[in-house]
Structure 1
Amino acid sequence: MADIQGSYDDPFAAVPDALAGLLDSGDAGGSVAVFVDGEPVVDVWGGFADADRTVPWQRDTITNVWSVTKTMTALCALVLADRGDLDLGAPVARYWPEFAAAGKEKVLVRHLLSHTAGLPDWDGPVEELYDWPSATARLAAQAPQWEPGSAAGYHSLTQGFLVGEVVRRITGRSVGEFFAEEVAAPLGADFHIGLPAGHDHRVALTVPPPSRDESYAAGAPGGGASPATGATTVRVRDGNSVAWRRAQIPAASGFGNARSVALVQSVMACGGAIRGRRLLSQAGCDRAREEQFQGVDRLLGMPVRWGLGYGLFGSAYGWGGWGGAIVVVEPGARMAVAYVTNQMREPADDDRGMEIIAAAHDGLGRLTD
């Protein structure tokens, strides 16, 4: 069995066992964390940080979590809404006047958070993703593909720029700066949207699925645009570039590990406060679960329930990223579960996140027995 490092409470022994099983089945490396009441009951890692499997995954190894980043960007918006600085029911143009162009006067902030704004496709060059003014100007000029609010289509790359520009217009800070100062720093969370060069040595680059190379393109939930839409695709090579790490792509370029992901989202699981730090109220947390859409997502091609910035799954909510990372928030259990990996699998064959979550539930059941 793969060697697993870290610590865990005995009732949750199934969780490190599940991670070991994934590594034994061929994965390069990864980490898992389970937080209950804002404290870790599982914080484990194992495997390797590189495709050649020569560099062990360390406690402070971080990797691109792709669309799990969306949950961090959503949290920033919810914090501003809770403070009264952002009206989620207001037109986006109230904060970003240029956005009203091309028939978008009726697009509301909540439409951005729920993938119902009608702007799902990134149709510019990949390189423009690294230039915030150009990226947001492109989106401000676009016309919606459907009546805003009437349908959902996964805004895989665009959502972060749309929500992030609203955050910037309100606060005068980029979403990466706001997250760093208002969320990560108070909690001591090692998560970054726009990674400084000083952290590069800790990064585990994304490893494509077996038999694939770095030209492997996003086309699944949590990645970039679907090739079927005609929009720009994102490749593993792009995500592994220095330019991607430095840029703020708030839908897909967050870097962290399972510990930092679970720590941040524990705020949502625990009514807005953990470790003596309150980021938002219980009511502010509850907004995430306000259903905005239920039905078949036009781009994902599957039934979804969208809340405000999170996918809804029964009484839980969260989201996953291209390549396998996932976070799930369970307010009823005051639990957050995160799995982060550098190893991609083909989406149709990837149920690793569900395995980890099931193991966490096994531990939760043992706690209450």
Structure 2
Amino acid sequence: MAFMKNALLVCITAVLVVYVPSLWTKTPPTLTAGTVQPGFEPVLKVFRENFAKGVESPTGGSAFSVYYKGAKVIDLWGGYADTEALRPWREDTMAIVYSSTKGMAATCIALLADRGHIDYDKTVASYWPEFALNGKENITVRMLLNHEGGLSYTDGPISFEQLADQDVLGQLLAKEAPKWEPGSAHGYHGMTFGLYVSQLLRRADPKHRTLGQFFKEEIAQTFDVDFHIGLPLEVYHRVARPPAVTALWQTLFKGLTSPLNRQVMWAMATGKTDFLKVLNIESMTQAEHFLNPEVLALEQPSASGIGTARAIAKVYGMMANGGTTRDGRKFLSDGLIKKFIGEAEKVATMDRTIGLKMLFNLGFMITDEGEQQFGHPGSGGAQGRADPKWRIGMAYITSYPTPFSMGDDERFLTLEKATYECVKKLEAK
């Protein structure tokens, strides 16, 4: 009986937290803008309907972009870049994409591999000798990128001061010991992935740049990609501002409607994951830090990349187009791109950090829900994906994070579905 009373109390609380505030909230007007090429009009319709029907938050904002056969065919944005000030989302609005940053980090390593400066099957220590400390000498680049190195969290928190000093950070990371036998399992390196990858890149890159510097010079400036790993302070005004941490509590109960979220929460509750230990890197796991421009100026290639949807879609669009731009400039070799999916394991296996079956390869998350894709999702709903078969690169970013970060966010899924339907109709002609 006591259990039933507690369960009823939780349900009543959920209703009060989620729905009662809306009774005093005036719904702002729906704002959408952008362009679609002929044949993709249904995607624009879905984008607008998502705002009109409440699939998108009435005070949130988002952008969705698609490249098809190397050309931009969808570029949409709508809603508000600031949920509190109701600042409209504009064409040049950027957003924090959290773990979708990892896909951009993996792309940087792919560029080095394509140029012969790094070999996925060599040990990390062959480029970074200090890394061999404490049982890490046999960890290969491939294992590190596939979250198999046993380095999903650090023994102590990492401060902003350490994050800002690449030499100090490198020494700290080199001393860490694997938390499981490297190569025996994968556990999502939520906050450490980008830090280790950046240190590796510094050693393998002939110019010894950080990952953020490498991305800026080799991708952003070279291919006109509006994305940053380490945000310049002068462009901070363009960044969408997520709601205050307290406002996000209104969405937590909604997250319980997701079977994937329930599975993750059960794994956490029963102690079957290392998820809470991953949050030990306190400098970048507290939501309020993502509102601080000085923090965003630091390089955290695991979680703090910032850019437009068209920027992410352009990168994946080039890779989906055989590694070349629309005008024939080379980005990556097609042979290497085919390895992202082609060399991946065929069956997803349980991830010891997340508590779900997942599949990684060379830094990308591999999905196969009817169409094979590589890319990376981000906390709160951000997505960046490439489909080489259909030659599609797509991205979704938002100012209003939701709990649906495991690939089941209706906002993105409805747009993705409409995009594929349009592409298949065009291909059938």
Instruction: Give the equivalent residue in structure 2 for 1:291.
Output: 344
Match of 1:117 among 149, 167, 172: 149
Q: State, as a whole percentage, how many aligned pairs show the same letter.
A: 34
Give the Cα separation in 1 of the matches to 2:131 and 2:363: 20
Check if 1:10 corresponds to 2:38: yes
CA contact (8 A) 1:93 1:105 kept: yes
CA contact (8 A) 1:18 1:359 kept: yes
Give the Cα separation in 2 of the matches to 1:260 and 1:230: 29
| Displacement of 1:279 | 1.9
Check if 1:96 corresponds to 2:144: no
Check if 1:335 corresponds to 2:392: yes
Q: TM-score, normalised by structure 1?
A: 0.91
Instruction: Give the equivalent residue in structure 1 for 2:231.
Output: 195
Check if 1:162 corresponds to 2:210: no
Higher alpha-carbon Rg = 2
Q: TM-score, normalised by structure 2?
A: 0.79
Larger displacement relative to structure 2 (46-55 or 17-26): 17-26
Give the Cα separation in 1 of the matches to 2:223 and 2:305: 17
- 2:298 maps to amino acid: A
| Displacement of 1:285 | 1.1
Instruction: Give the equivalent residue in structure 1 for 2:15.
Output: none
Q: Secondary structure at the match of 1:139?
A: helix
Larger displacement relative to structure 2 (288-297 or 238-247): 288-297
Change (3 A) 1:263 1:39: same
Larger displacement relative to structure 2 (179-188 or 324-333): 179-188
- TM-superposition CA deviations, 1:254-297 (whole Å, max 9, x none): 11011000001112101111133212211121222221583011
Instruction: Give the equivalent residue in structure 1 for 2:410.
Output: 351
CA contact (8 A) 1:210 1:345 kept: no
Instruction: Give the equivalent residue in structure 1 for 2:114.
Output: 82
Match of 1:212 among 242, 248, 273: 248
Match of 2:331 among 279, 282, 285: 279
Larger displacement relative to structure 2 (324-333 or 17-26): 17-26
State the number of aligned residues: 362
Match of 1:70 among 83, 102, 105: 102
Give the Cα separation in 2 of the matches to 1:360 and 1:129: 39
Q: Secondary structure at the match of 1:7?
A: strand
Larger displacement relative to structure 2 (258-267 or 125-134): 125-134
Change (3 A) 1:37 1:138: same
Larger displacement relative to structure 2 (24-33 or 204-213): 204-213
Instruction: Give the equivalent residue in structure 1 for 2:280.
Output: 231
Instruction: Give the equivalent residue in structure 2 for 1:266.
Output: 317
| Displacement of 1:20 | 2.5
Q: Secondary structure at the match of 1:48?
A: strand
| Displacement of 1:195 | 0.9
| Displacement of 1:252 | 1.0
| Displacement of 1:131 | 3.8
Instruction: Give the equivalent residue in structure 1 for 2:421.
Output: 362
Change (3 A) 1:14 1:235: farther
- TM-superposition CA deviations, 1:170-190 (whole Å, max 9, x none): 221111111111111121110
| Displacement of 1:53 | 4.4
CA contact (8 A) 1:208 1:344 kept: no
- 1:39 maps to amino acid: A
Q: Secondary structure at the match of 1:243?
A: helix
Change (3 A) 1:51 1:360: same
Give the Cα separation in 2 of the matches to 1:295 and 1:168: 31
Check if 1:151 corresponds to 2:185: yes
Give the Cα separation in 2 of the matches to 1:39 and 1:332: 15
Give the Cα separation in 1 of the matches to 2:389 and 2:149: 30
Give the Cα separation in 1 of the matches to 2:313 and 2:64: 9
Change (3 A) 1:229 1:162: closer
Instruction: Give the equivalent residue in structure 2 for 1:23.
Output: 51
- TM-superposition CA deviations, 1:141-189 (whole Å, max 9, x none): 1110111111000001111011111111122111111111111112111
Give the Cα separation in 2 of the matches to 1:2 and 1:17: 13
Larger displacement relative to structure 2 (340-349 or 359-368): 340-349
Unaligned ranges ≥5, structure 2: 1-28, 253-260, 265-273
Give the Cα separation in 2 of the matches to 1:175 and 1:211: 33
| Displacement of 1:2 | 3.0
Unaligned ranges ≥5, structure 1: none
Larger displacement relative to structure 2 (290-299 or 108-117): 290-299
Check if 1:55 corresponds to 2:87: yes
| Displacement of 1:38 | 1.3
Change (3 A) 1:203 1:144: same
**What RMSD over aligned residues (CA atoms) do the two structures have, in Å?**
2.3
Give the Cα separation in 2 of the matches to 1:18 and 1:134: 48
Give the Cα separation in 1 of the matches to 2:231 and 2:398: 18
CA contact (8 A) 1:130 1:249 kept: no
| Displacement of 1:91 | 0.6
CA contact (8 A) 1:208 1:345 kept: no
| Displacement of 1:208 | 5.3
Give the Cα separation in 2 of the matches to 1:146 and 1:168: 26
Larger displacement relative to structure 2 (98-107 or 308-317): 308-317
- 1:306 maps to amino acid: F
Give the Cα separation in 1 of the matches to 2:245 and 2:293: 21
CA contact (8 A) 1:272 1:281 kept: yes
Change (3 A) 1:209 1:37: farther
Give the Cα separation in 2 of the matches to 1:358 and 1:270: 20
